[in-house]
Amino acid sequence: MRAAGLGGAAGRLVRGKATRDEDVRDKRLDRAWDAGDPTNQCGATEHGCLGGIAVIEQYVVDLQEVDETQVAVVGGKGAHLGGLSRIEGIRVPAGFCVTTDAFRRIMAEAPSIDDRLDELSHLNPDDRDGIRTLSAEIRRTIEGIALPDDLAAAITHALAQLGEQAAYAVRSSATAEDLPTASFAGQQDTYLNVMGPAAVLRHVSRCWASLFTERAVTYRLRNGFGHRTVDMAVVVQRMVFPHAAGILFTADPVTGNRKVATVDAGFGLGEALVSGLVNPDVFKVRDGGIVARTIAAKQRAVHALPAGGTQEVAIAPERQEQPALTDAQVMRLVRLGRRIEAHFGRPQDIEWCLVDDDFQIVQSRPITTLFPIPESGDQENHVYVSVGHGQMMTDPMKPLGFSMWQLTAMVPMHEAGGRLFVDVTPRLASPASRAGLLEVMGRGDPLIRDALETVLDRDDFVPSLPDAGPGGPPAGGASAPIEADPAIVTELIERSQVSIAALGRDIRTKTGPALFDFLLEAFEEHKRVLGDPLNFQAIMAGMDATWWLNDKLQEWLGEKNAADTLTLSAPGNVTSEMGLALLDVADVIRPHAEVVAFLQGVEDEGFLDELAKLAGGTEARDAIEAYLDLYGMRCVGEIDITRPRWRERPTTLVPAILDNVRNFEPGAAERRFEQGRQKAQKKEQDVLARLRDLPDGDRKADEAKRMIDQVRTFIGYREYPKYGIVSRYFVYKQALLEEAERLVQADVLSEKEDVFYLTFQELHDVVRSNQVDDRLIRRRKDAFRSYHALTPPRVLTSDGEAVTGAYRRDDVPDGALVGLPVSAGTIEGRARVILDMADADLESGDILVTTFTDPSWSTLFVGIAGLVTEVGGLMTHGAVIAREYGLPAVVGVEQATRLIRDGQRIRVHGTDGYIEILP
């Protein structure tokens, strides 16, 4: 077999030293096998051998000789083009790839680049000046390297096979490009209509250098790709001169719907669309028909010049509003796209050209922005609601995290994109349960309700089924009446504490497979405690009373969100107590200047041991330790068992402690709680007095009093079950990490945190077999990293459509950001946009703006004046604690952290649910 079908000049054998590392030899042999020529039958002259086997460095390979498995040889673009060329009925312009072997040889010609790469890897992605300077130096160095004669000969020989004087497209093809988890779209360079061997060689060098454009370097830094882990191949293809060109998405890139294909089309080369020079015609196709079309006024196009290069040209006025494609061509193109999608096994972003009524495909890559669809195991329609939006944690979870939540949850859950979803299709299909579901969802998060109603409006997606029996809970929740008796809360907390203590005691003796058997039983106890009917009644009693008070007091007194004041400083709220307790820690630390100075420089997690060496340090350490004994199992994103807990990473608390030292006076916790209690008591007296003045006032006042007692008895308990869950999780985690440490000692795992990338059952299997699939762990790590770039939808369908709800309101000022009012009052102040609690640096009067807040964030709530979040509902943790502390709060504000800039002055209307950005 000839190397790549292009003759002996396309391959080169190199002499290997017998002392070379086994890994190097294996990689070279793998490359030879991948090329289909492991026995040196490529027509090249043998230049040496390695361990008795010839080692091949291929510099050029024909597109038709490769497929999508050979990304390491020809890069993502080249591999996909090779795969495309093998699909029946798909035409791909002829061409070849200059392989990554050639790139590595060129890089080896300039050892100085290695030092520059070290410097580059240490830069912050936001250091634009540093990236600009270093990347320009590297590009100049690469472009200045003369191509070795044999490498240049391999390329020119391949050009001669295709037509030396033809026009070519010379295109970058990096090994980290067009991947399922990262597209790198537009990060490296492409050159069109390149003519003549000398020009092609020059542009190959420019493509190599484009691996270090500023945008490519920044992209790699932001997405966790090392600069040395990416190699560059170059695709050289015969140029096509199309009548029209554009992009086909085999799934709707905006909604994610996998059944809707979108075609963007314009005249001339596709460069006009990609560069944004013109607005394209847009066709949407579903179920074999065009369901929407927009024909744009296409005033300009990009055409190839006879002597090489391209230029913009004006489109004749009579042609500007003509469709670039006929309907028949659109449908034919979509059928080709579906064939390509089937070949690659996932939705594709396809670049196409139309030449003489014939489509040629010049690129296809996965659409990496689509949110994955939960696996259902059937072909039926499904509607999924996000768990993360209800739990105030929309970040991706690692496999051990989501599998543990699935095993301990009260309802079945489905994973996709590292997030969990509940399938609500059966409840939507039943008229009896549908109304109750929509009511509860609407009270919690109006955007979810609106999204569900949007799906229901499509009559054919969720068929209405006859009621088979009792429906779901009625509007406003479902619980039997319960007496407002504090003893009920006391009993529930005691039950939980006894169960957790037994768990901690019994798990200590369990190791190996026996530990996993024990945990499966423990999960049943976990669910038994959560599923206790009295537990559910107590939770719903506080929520029902809140809703009743807000509804009735608005109806009777015209007062919005009256319950927000009535719940101030409600007793027994473990989350609000956690925030106030950190004020008490600050009181212990504040008098000791040496301790405060030490904490300002703390970075090492062992700082608690160092405190005792300082004046006042023993007291400070004891106060922090006591706090960790009560709350050390908590952390940001605590529903994911793999997240580091405060007990494991106590430095997380230091910024909040220092803020409290700076912003508060001694005794602030007790004063704050008492002020809230008195304000709630005064509000109660005022409301009851006003009600008694109404017609039938005594009855109304008596009903309101009963509900006020109920809300103050039970609304604090609303936070306790979550505290119990994370307390159990910390016990589970400590036992599993001890098991992971044994696996590390036995050389089964490289590091104990690798278990986080296995599901619970997979980890069980590893412990039984003492064997692990390292490649699976690597794939899981890559996938988890990619999931951070995805925005989880509140509602997702089995078609892949992310359904976005809307606030149906016309009572807000123009330009205001709309959300859900969850804590009454109006506050004006400086916005502090904080995405990581560890970065908090708050002053008194600041308004916290963030993506979501779970209970761990309540340590910051004592120091802020208001709250704005992108995620949340009326009864999520941030809303409950905001009301307890009397903070005006608006949640569910779409893109709040992007639309509000850090440091801007804003006004939060917590009663009416909107935010004004002030001049």
Please give the tally of structural domains in the chain.
Answer: 5
Q: For the sheet with 817-818, list strands across it.
A: 817-818, 914-917, 905-909, 826-833, 847-850, 866-869, 889-891, 820-823
Q: Is residue 166 a part of any domain in this protein?
A: yes
Q: What is the DSSP letter of 804?
A: P
pLDDT of residue 165: 85
pLDDT at 16 over 50: no
Element (H, E) at 554: helix 533-557
In this prediction, residues 259-281 reach a mean pLDDT of: 86
**pLDDT level of residue 481 (50, 70, 90 thresholds):** confident
Q: Are strands 866-869 and 847-850 parallel, antiparallel or unpaired?
A: parallel
In this prediction, residues 466-470 reach a mean pLDDT of: 54
Distance of CA 387 to the CA centre of its chain: 14
- Same domain, residue pair 190 and 80: yes
Q: Is residue 558 a part of any domain in this protein?
A: yes
Identify which has the larger pLDDT, 250 or 20: 250
CATH number of the structural domain spanning residue 144: 3.30.1490.20
- Same domain, residue pair 419 and 551: no
Q: Is residue 172 a part of any domain in this protein?
A: yes
pLDDT of residue 120: 80
Nearest to 167 by CA among 215, 200, 210: 200
**pLDDT level of residue 533 (50, 70, 90 thresholds):** very high
Q: Is residue 722 a part of any domain in this protein?
A: no
In this prediction, residues 630-655 reach a mean pLDDT of: 96
Helix, strand or coil, per DSSP, at residue 795: strand
Q: Which residue has the tokens 């659109």?
A: 330
pLDDT at 127 over 60: yes
% of the chain at pLDDT higher than 90: 71
Range of the domain at 656: 538-714
pLDDT of residue 33: 33
pLDDT of residue 566: 94
- Same domain, residue pair 172 and 286: no
CATH number of the structural domain spanning residue 299: 3.30.470.20
Give the number of other Cβ atoms within 10 Å of residue 305's Cβ: 12
- Same domain, residue pair 819 and 842: yes
Q: Which residue has the tokens 């912050």?
A: 124
pLDDT at 670 over 50: yes
pLDDT at 912 over 90: yes
Buried b (16+ CB within 10 A) or exposed e, 45-82: eeeeebeeebbbbbbbbbbbbbbbebbbbbbbbbbbbb
Lowest-pLDDT choice from 116-125, 264-273, 766-775, 855-864: 116-125
**pLDDT level of residue 214 (50, 70, 90 thresholds):** confident
pLDDT of residue 279: 86
pLDDT at 684 over 90: yes
**pLDDT level of residue 476 (50, 70, 90 thresholds):** very low
Q: Which amino acid is at 297?
A: A
Q: Is residue 532 a part of any domain in this protein?
A: no
- Same domain, residue pair 424 and 559: no
pLDDT of residue 854: 86
Identify which has the larger pLDDT, 306 or 809: 809
Give the number of other Cβ atoms within 10 Å of residue 163's Cβ: 11
Three-point CA angle 686, 539, 912, nearest 5°: 50
- CB–CB of 711/563 below 8 Å? yes
CATH number of the structural domain spanning residue 823: 3.50.30.10
- Same domain, residue pair 451 and 545: no
Identify which has the larger pLDDT, 876 or 99: 99
| Cα distance between residue 864 and residue 878, in whole Å | 13
What is the DSSP track for 347-365? -EEEEEEEETTEEEEEEEE
Burial of 277 (0-12, 13-18, 19+ CB in 10 A): middle
- Same domain, residue pair 324 and 389: no
Helix, strand or coil, per DSSP, at residue 803: strand
| Cα distance between residue 527 and residue 536, in whole Å | 12
pLDDT of residue 656: 93
% of the chain at pLDDT higher than 70: 91
Nearest to 325 by CA among 261, 242, 258: 242
Helix, strand or coil, per DSSP, at residue 133: helix
- CB–CB of 838/861 below 8 Å? no
pLDDT at 223 over 60: yes
Identify which has the larger pLDDT, 308 or 49: 308
* C-alpha separations of 426 from 385, 435, 488, 801 in Å: 12, 13, 34, 19
| Cα distance between residue 720 and residue 876, in whole Å | 13
Write out the catalytic residue numbers: 877
pLDDT at 92 over 60: yes
pLDDT one-digit tens code per residue, 366-409? 998 899 999 998 989 999 999 999 998 999 999 999 999 999 99
- Same domain, residue pair 791 and 829: no
Q: Is residue 720 a part of any domain in this protein?
A: no
Buried b (16+ CB within 10 A) or exposed e, 552-581: bbeebbebebbbbbbbbbbebbbbbbbbbb
Q: Is residue 41 a part of any domain in this protein?
A: no
Q: Which amino acid is at 290?
A: I
pLDDT at 340 over 70: yes
Task: Look up the pTM and report it.
Answer: 0.85
- Same domain, residue pair 97 and 214: yes
- CB–CB of 752/744 below 8 Å? yes
| Residue 380, C-beta contacts closer than 8 angstroms, at least 6 positions apart | 425, 798
Residue 173: beta bridge partners? 233
Q: Which amino acid is at 565?
A: T
Task: Take residue 735 and report the two structure tokens written for it.
Answer: 């036992």
Q: Is residue 485 a part of any domain in this protein?
A: no
Query: Which of residues 205, 238, 271 is at a domain's end?
Result: 238
- Same domain, residue pair 555 and 700: yes
pLDDT one-digit tens code per residue, 404-446? 999 999 999 999 999 999 999 999 999 889 999 999 999 889 9
Query: Which of residues 370, 403, 430 is at a domain's end?
Result: 370
- Same domain, residue pair 233 and 244: no
Query: Which of residues 774, 799, 824 is at a domain's end?
Result: 799
Largest CA distance in the chain: 105
- Same domain, residue pair 176 and 72: yes
- Average pLDDT over the chain reads 88
pLDDT at 346 over 70: yes
